[in-house]
């Protein structure tokens, strides 16, 4: 039995995280170590995404949300930004049929601000092919920022405030969450960040209020199925208290 199969047996199916969020970090450093340009790192990072998706399907994770491009990543050099946008769309187009055959539902979450006008249209045309599926929910956080998400939620609430659907008396957390990009999804139970950085970088800041955080030194392109299961096993050893005793 290989290491992956052994780890799979250690996983407690009754305590699976329903939702795993991943900050895929370290592509640039991975490429730099090889004397290659940053885009080479991003291209190799795509393989690690595939590995996490496969493992999620195999063990029965319901939601996987991966951070592909943040609202702050526009500050990178223009050729890197252009390359990343193209890589994300090209990978989606290349993989969508296989993802759909595996019963995966693919969604993009994020804002359309600053994206080329037809970008989100092209993305949605691909994603729609999967929306009747019933397996893993794969969310790609693309042009995503937690603060912008909160502002977008507030902006989309305004009509419902004006028409009286939302009042100071009935607005609570559950109602507010209906306006987030992640409406109707469970909060992440586990958040994984690779490359040794220990911060949220504006990722799912509302949703991660009680998320278990897992940090690893592994650079994203090297993060494969074994590392993914190790993170889940670590999560299963934790005692979640949610403010209780």
Q: Kindly list the residues in this chain that would bind ligand IPE in the complex (CB under 6 A).
A: 23-29, 38, 67-70, 73, 84, 195, 197, 199, 201, 220
Q: Which stretch binds Mg ion (CB under 5 A): 21-29, 94-102, 103-111, 112-120?
A: 21-29
Smallest gap from residue 81 Cβ to Mg ion (A):
14
Quick one: tokens of 78?
Answer: 């223009």
Smallest gap from residue 5 Cβ to ligand IPE (A):
29
Q: Residue with structure tokens 């929306």?
A: 131
25 is catalytic: yes
Closer Cβ to ligand IPE, 16 or 21, answer by number: 21
Q: Residue with structure tokens 């794969």?
A: 138
Q: Does 25 bind Mg ion (CB under 5 A)?
A: yes
Closer Cβ to ligand IPE, 94 or 199, answer by number: 199
Closer Cβ to ligand IPE, 27 or 137, answer by number: 27
99 binds, among Mg ion, ligand IPE, none (CB under 5 to 8 A by kind): none
Q: Does 219 bind Mg ion (CB under 5 A)?
A: no
Q: How would you class 201 by CB atoms within 10 Å of its CB: exposed for 0-12, middle for 13-18, buried for 19 or more?
A: middle
Q: Does 38 bind Mg ion (CB under 5 A)?
A: no
Q: Please state the three-class secondary structure of 33-98 as a single string.
A: HCCCCHHHHHHHHHHHHHHHHHHHHHHCCCEEEEEEEECCHHHCCHHHHHHHHHHHHHHHHHHHHH
217 binds, among Mg ion, ligand IPE, none (CB under 5 to 8 A by kind): none
Closer Cβ to Mg ion, 25 or 189, answer by number: 25
Smallest gap from residue 26 Cβ to ligand IPE (A):
4
Question: Nearest-CA neighbor of 104 among 54, 61, 138?
Answer: 138
Half-sphere exposure of 234 (CA within 13 A, CB side): 14
24 binds, among Mg ion, ligand IPE, none (CB under 5 to 8 A by kind): ligand IPE
Determine the Cα–Cα distance for residues 177 and 150; give it in Å rounded to an integer: 10
Determine the Cα–Cα distance for residues 201 and 209; give it in Å rounded to an integer: 14
- Residues near Mg ion (CB under 5 A): 25
Q: Which residues are catalytic, by number?
A: 25, 73
């Amino acid at each position: 039995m290989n290491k992956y199969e052994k780890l799979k047996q250690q996983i407690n199916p009754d305590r699976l995280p329903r939702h795993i969020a991943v900050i895929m970090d370290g592509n640039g450093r991975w490429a730099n170590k090889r004397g290659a340009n940053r885009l080479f790192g991003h291209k190799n990072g795509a393989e690690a995404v595939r590995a996490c998706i496969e493992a999620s399907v195999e063990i029965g994770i319901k939601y996987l949300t991966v951070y592909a491009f943040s609202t702050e990543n526009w500050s990178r050099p223009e050729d890197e930004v252009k390359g990343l946008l193209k890589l994300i769309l090209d990978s989606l187009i290349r993989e969508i049929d296989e993802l759909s055959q595996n019963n995966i539902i693919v969604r993009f979450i994020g804002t359309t601000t600053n994206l080329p006008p037809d970008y989100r249209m092209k993305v949605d045309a691909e994603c729609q092919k999967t929306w009747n599926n019933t397996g893993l929910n794969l969310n790609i956080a693309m042009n995503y920022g937690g603060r912008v998400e909160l502002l977008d939620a507030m902006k989309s609430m305004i009509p419902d405030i004006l028409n009286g659907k939302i009042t100071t008396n009935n607005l609570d957390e559950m109602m507010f969450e209906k306006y987030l990009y992640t409406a109707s999804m469970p909060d992440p139970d586990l958040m994984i960040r690779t490359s040794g950085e220990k911060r949220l970088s504006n990722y799912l800041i509302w949703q991660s209020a009680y998320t278990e955080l897992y940090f690893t030194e592994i650079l994203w392109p090297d993060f494969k199925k074994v590392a993914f299961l190790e993170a889940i096993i670590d999560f299963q050893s934790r005692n979640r208290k949610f403010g209780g005793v």
